[in-house]
Chains A and B, each alone.
Chain A
């Protein structure tokens, strides 16, 4: 077990959205606070700090994780993706596009976490049913939309991804 004295700072090195960050922080710093305060990535939002609302979800080594339930120090050496890294070369991710088209967000506070969970979900569910999407979404709270637009958007992104595969066979998202 690692022993730390109060107030001691630790060095953390990790990769976020492809860029390496070397930071010093308190061992008790939550990953969510670390991302926002030390790395300046304020797109990850904190809604409950007890792992229910899902707003703070990020990908840690490809898996959707609640960053409020994890210390930054536990992410040492990890490869993290946040909402800021979704768009590539100025082009929005298929989910970002579908969220706007299907009016899947209103205030947008819960959206980054839902997007990150949906990225993980679609990676493992190429052809999801509506019930599977709802099941995945049940780990997120949204008080604006009533979820309908979000479900539609994820279905649309999944559909387009599948269509893309049919067209060029490469598996690339559109």
Chain B
């Protein structure tokens, strides 16, 4: 039985249903009779005033039950709250103006989706087009087109941070190395699109919403506020099967509110399933970011100070939980390096693009692309090996727990050992020799390195760093990372676990079963885990949900604690019956035994039976039944202090990557020869799931590096509305990946585990860019934007060849 316990690669309990077509995804659900279907009319303009909407024709079409427009929304809801002071009015349907292509303008409800879509064509909207702005730097200019008149500029949030003595570090530096980097807007495009079913009951003012959301976290309160409903009148149910999210499905919440209003106005239960074009155009994405980075560097390559100005485009409306992308990595802004002095300027700017939100790696890829590129550029300018620059700056093992200048507390790690392992795996020295030979033959080989810290289990307090200490002081401090779980046992001994971590493919049911199986000494296969989330019946708190890789560090800890409570109860019952102290007892193989006299034992079935069938026989004062809930939060997740220090995450893992590439001289195509990645995520709970999470995260990072971009033209028109235009990596693009693990247990979590699965999403764009830059260094090409498509690289190579030719021709 031991083979399925914690740390073992137990096959997933989710698989049988999912491989046989018995999953229950949102589109499969028909929880009510009489469900009608919604279709959404969307803006063709990036920026325009809505002069009139005529819906009469559509309303008279066959099967149509009604139409909802911005006027209804403005009357029936208030703008969504968001954690900034800028007065941005964001509703679930456009009110008076549209601010991005694809913004919802009207909703038609009909007997089926086909009829609803027919009726969309009959709605007439008069638009007055306005100038649009999509470029971050242009949107920041004084005379830029203004998206929100009330705000007065396009800036939704703006802060400055100073840690240590930055001026001195730069004054005393031997070199100051600086560069500007652009990170693109991209998504993770879950194969299942958004879906919502909403039912409003006017009799009690109750709204029930089914959706493939992965909250509820803070967004349940955001939705209740927009709907102006008591929060317990807004019941959210999340099906146990969600077809991938990677953060993107947090952006379904405006549609949950929208369909709630539609159901209320039309008096019908309504179902809406987003199509792919809608998803690519208007759902959610990561932010695109411009970073101006400066490093103060000593002669030997030691980095003593960093300045970063980061401007994120949050799209047409700043939407919760943004501007969190700017702050998610605030505590680990200096990455894996001992850099004591840090200055940051953070700006969230609104542009005529789709709104942004959570995405796998959240903020990490935007941070590490400039940070890891600048480490390589330092090496280049100082004539050093990039591996030596990294070595010189890595935090050393004896420094843990290490406090970063911005307040992060890295719990554990052995960064140097992991980094050296990555170099060894890549045969770093040999590759350099191979590269030199290849260059002689006119071939472009390169190797890139990256070392990143992978934060997991976000502290709810980090988001409030968007506000100044004075603004924060006006409200209740925010902290913690609470998650709940319930373990219960029925009268016949059946064990059930209820989790609120809203898995979207990460195998939480399996790992929860492993944990409970281990704690209660039973076969994990016999433990039933209910992952369906219901805000009226599940144990949850404001942090509950699936994000920031929080299951391994926090969600699993809640399960563990709830199982321990059940174990303690069973041991106490057994102690009385066996006349032994509980500490003398062990629980295993479905029995409680006296450790020193294993002949003395009681079956769990009998002990469970006592709690249900014979409560009078329980130890005095003990409650009948077996149903225990535990909540778990990290003690180190404190609110930000008055100097803007915050420990934004529960645990911090580490990833060291080494990647080798060859660039095709004729086409500019990047071929990844080998991808080596060394991980330290503390104790691994299920190695099988770990490998899958790492590969998935890595390939998403690869997509961001090489293929994926939600592209707009300079007028704000959207260019990548299908999977023919928005390119996701497919099986033929996946390189050989070698994964190696170190397991430096976290001293902070009960199981020693840290989160994982996002690390390579953060590191891959940086490490691949470093490898490409290394390959192209003989041409003097600088890589400072992504994705590295063949056409971009080819153009850069052509320009480089031309300028070499010109400089040869022009006598100086």
Contacts and interface: CB of A to CB of B under 8 A. Distances in A.
B583 interface: no
A interface SS class: loop
B691 A103 contact: yes
B696 interface: yes
- Give the interface centre of A48, A92, A106, A133 by most chain B CB atoms within 10 Å: A106
A172 interface: no
Interface string B5-22: 000000110111111111
Interface string A1-41: 00000010000000000000000001011000000100001
Given A26-B114, A107-B243, A41 B731 contact: no
A145 interface: yes
Contacts of A83: 19-21
B12 A103 contact: yes
Contact of A143 (B691, B693, B696): B696
Interface in B697-734: 697-700, 722-724, 728, 730-732, 734
A150 interface: yes
Interface in A119-170: 133-135, 137-151
Interface stretch (B460-468, B477-485, B503-511): B503-511
B192 A107 contact: yes
A109 B275 CA distance: 15
A94 to B, nearest CB: 11
A53 interface: yes
A135 B11 CA distance: 27
Given A134-B732, A138-B731, A144 B23 contact: no
A86 B689 CA distance: 25
B692 A108 contact: no
A8 B21 CA distance: 31
Contacts of A45: 25, 27, 191-192, 243
Nearest to A7: B62
B392 to A, nearest CB: 33
Contacts, number: 176
Nearest to B723: A52
Interface in B162-213: 188-193
B728 A141 contact: yes
Given A49-B276, A50-B723, A107-B244, A144 B692 contact: yes
B737 interface: yes
A109 B21 contact: no
Interface in A73-120: 82-84, 86-87, 92, 96, 99-101, 103, 105-112, 115
B114 A99 contact: no
Contacts of B18: 105, 107-108, 111
Contacts of A101: 11
Interface size class of B (residues with CB under 8 A): 35 or more
B723 A84 contact: no
Interface in A36-64: 36, 41-50, 52-53, 55
Contacts of A41: 21
Interface in B341-386: none
B119 to A, nearest CB: 13
Contacts of A139: 730
A72 B102 CA distance: 30
Nearest to A149: B692
- Give the interface centre of A45, A96, A101, A139 by most chain B CB atoms within 10 Å: A45
Contact of A43 (B21, B62, B114): B21
B27 A108 contact: no
B28 interface: yes
Nearest to B273: A46
Contacts of B734: 134, 146-148
Contacts of A49: 275-276
17 contacts: A36-B28, A42-B21, A43-B20, A50-B276, A83-B21, A86-B20, A92-B16, A96-B19, A103-B11, A103-B692, A106-B505, A108-B23, A134-B732, A140-B731, A143-B188, A146-B737, A147-B734
Interface of A: 7, 26, 28-29, 36, 41-50, 52-53, 55, 82-84, 86-87, 92, 96, 99-101, 103, 105-112, 115, 133-135, 137-151
Given A28-B114, A53-B276, 20 more contacts: A36-B27, A36-B28, A43-B22, A48-B722, A48-B723, A50-B722, A52-B722, A53-B191, A84-B21, A92-B19, A103-B688, A106-B507, A107-B18, A108-B14, A108-B243, A109-B241, A111-B19, A143-B246, A146-B692, A148-B734
5 interchain residue pairs of minimum CB distance? A43-B21, A108-B18, A109-B243, A107-B505, A146-B695
